[in-house]
Amino acid sequence: MASSGFEATRFEATKDFARNLDSQDPLASYRDRFHTPRGPNGDEWVYLTGHSLGLQPKSAREYVERELQLWQELAVEGHFHGPQPWVPYIELLNGPTARLVGALPSEVVVMNTLTVNLHCMMVSFYRPTGDRNKIVIESNAFPSDQYAVKSQIQFHGYDPAISLIELGPRLGETTIRTEDIESLIEREGHMIALMMLAGVNYYSGQFFDYPRITAAARAKGCVVGWDMAHGAGNVPLELHDSNCDFAVWCTYKYMNGGPGCVGGCFVHERHAREFDLPRFAGWWGHDKPTRFQMGPDFQPIFGAEGWQLGNPPVLAMAALRASLEIFDEVGMSTLRQKSVTLTAYLEFLLDQHPSRSFSIITPQDPQQRGAQLSLRLHRKGRAVCEALKEQGVICDWREPDILRVAPVPLYNSFTDAYAFVEKFIPIVEA
């Protein structure tokens, strides 16, 4: 695990100061472990979009080509023979994934994609009744989550207009207060079947106090699930200790698994032997010793693996394995220390330019955010994002007025933060 720490000092808004911080950065060398795209002039992009698609680890090609070679040489026999047979391949990812999200290896499984996993979990854990049928999400939850929960409500014969509770900020605020979530739970908990929030909201970048919210909801008898798509690989997670029932995430954002890479899922160990829970069944979730006997009756594997459906996509998992190796080497604690400093430095640089053209909607408290600042643009809108791209700075745009900037600690530098602000301010103020 890498060492951590920066000299305690006050920030300065100069390029030399940014370079000095980079010289102190114990993770600076990890930037070279990733491919950074280059523009037409050959210069590296200032890539601040790891919250949407992480950069490619240079070792990913080796991991994938190893499996391609095995496919070439052994074909179907690669499932059971070779350096790393494919049938148990998923077990190589369980340990690193569990360490990344704070879980037991038996509580995690790498499978499907994010929304498919969300549906698989809700089949088991959203069990509405006449008196308790509501689902709680954020009003600005990622659209896919909204589509999924509304469709589950409708599938069970309820009306989303009645059974969906959408949490929003107070008037004039941009994030949701924890005490407001607790008040809702206290007031309506007896009617809530499922709390289904994002651990880190994709739009605002708010990192919710998920253990506190989980405790409040479970005390009222609610089932609790978390969408950690913007949390896994970004912020420190302790899913087991939080006592939530389940969590889902994708692996192509902060986890650098590649476009459309296989998703991840957590199921708390208290459900590991609840084999009578309703679930979608597929043969890869069947008891391993008897899976290939092809029996007609489904016998789930103990733990999260029992929710698997079909054969795992080994080529995608190989690319993810390359990234997980880096996370295991560095450790989330070290990553988090740099992330807090790097995001704070970006915020500091932006604060040197008081403006009516933009404002930061992400919480100022480092404990309530990860590696992301969401900037609300009060004029020009998407044109700012496009102008930055023309100058080799890659951010992303979310309608109607949000520019999202993600300084990822594994491969972004303090100089990147300085370069972004140096180009952003003239564009937004012009």
> pLDDT digits over 47-101, tens only?
999 999 999 999 999 999 999 999 999 999 999 999 999 999 999 999 999 999 9
**DSSP secondary-structure letter at 173?**
-
Instruction: Mark whether 116 and 230 lie in a shared domain.
Output: yes
Out of 327, 361, 388, a domain closes at 327
Amino acid at 76: V
The residue segments making up the domain with residue 425 are 15-35+331-429
Q: What pLDDT does residue 9 have? A: 61
Q: Could you tell me the pLDDT band of residue 7, with boundaries at 50, 70 and 90?
A: low
Instruction: Mark whether 117 and 253 lie in a shared domain.
Output: yes
Instruction: Mark whether 395 and 337 lie in a shared domain.
Output: yes
Instruction: Mark whether 394 and 409 lie in a shared domain.
Output: yes
Percent of the chain beyond pLDDT 70?
Answer: 98
Out of 299, 327, 355, a domain closes at 327
Q: Locate the DSSP E strands across 250-381.
A: 263-267, 358-360, 373-377
Instruction: Mark whether 386 and 322 lie in a shared domain.
Output: no
Domains identified in the chain, total number: 2
Query: What's the average model confidence in pLDDT over 36-55?
Result: 95
H/E run at residue 421: helix 414-429
Q: Quote the mean pLDDT of the chain.
A: 96
Count Cβ atoms below 10 Å from residue 179 Cβ, excluding itself: 9
| Bridge partners (DSSP) listed for residue 110 | 264
Out of 284, 307, 327, a domain closes at 327
pLDDT exceeds 50 at position 3: no
In a domain? residue 6: no
In a domain? residue 44: no
Instruction: Mark whether 78 and 138 lie in a shared domain.
Output: yes
Instruction: Mark whether 305 and 344 lie in a shared domain.
Output: no
CA distances from 318 to 96, 259, 311, 351 (A): 13, 13, 14, 42
In a domain? residue 10: no
CATH number of the domain where residue 292 is located: 3.40.640.10
Q: What pLDDT does residue 285 have? A: 97
**DSSP secondary-structure letter at 284?**
G
Query: What's the average model confidence in pLDDT over 322-336?
Result: 98
> pLDDT digits over 152-173, tens only?
999 999 999 999 999 999 999 9
CATH number of the domain where residue 380 is located: 3.90.1150.10
In a domain? residue 47: no
Instruction: Mark whether 318 and 353 lie in a shared domain.
Output: no
Q: Could you tell me the pLDDT band of residue 273, with boundaries at 50, 70 and 90?
A: very high
In a domain? residue 58: no
Instruction: Mark whether 379 and 359 lie in a shared domain.
Output: yes
Q: Could you tell me the pLDDT band of residue 306, with boundaries at 50, 70 and 90?
A: very high
Query: What's the average model confidence in pLDDT over 206-232?
Result: 98
Backbone angles phi, psi at 367, to 5 degrees: -75, -10
Q: What pLDDT does residue 75 have? A: 97
Q: What pLDDT does residue 132 have? A: 98
Instruction: Mark whether 130 and 200 lie in a shared domain.
Output: yes
pLDDT exceeds 90 at position 5: no
Closest of 258, 239, 336 to residue 1, by C-alpha:
336
Q: Locate the DSSP E strands across 186-275.
A: 192-198, 223-227, 246-249, 263-267
* Tokens describing residue 88: 């148990």
Query: What's the average model confidence in pLDDT over 129-150?
Result: 96
CA distances from 317 to 67, 259, 302 (A): 10, 12, 22
Please give the Cα distance from 82 to 39 (Å, whole number).
40
Instruction: Mark whether 299 and 338 lie in a shared domain.
Output: no
In a domain? residue 2: no
In a domain? residue 8: no
In a domain? residue 49: no
H/E run at residue 92: helix 91-101
Q: What pLDDT does residue 380 have? A: 85
> pLDDT digits over 356-396, tens only?
899 999 999 999 999 999 999 998 889 999 999 999 999 99
Instruction: Mark whether 315 and 376 lie in a shared domain.
Output: no
Amino acid at 363: P
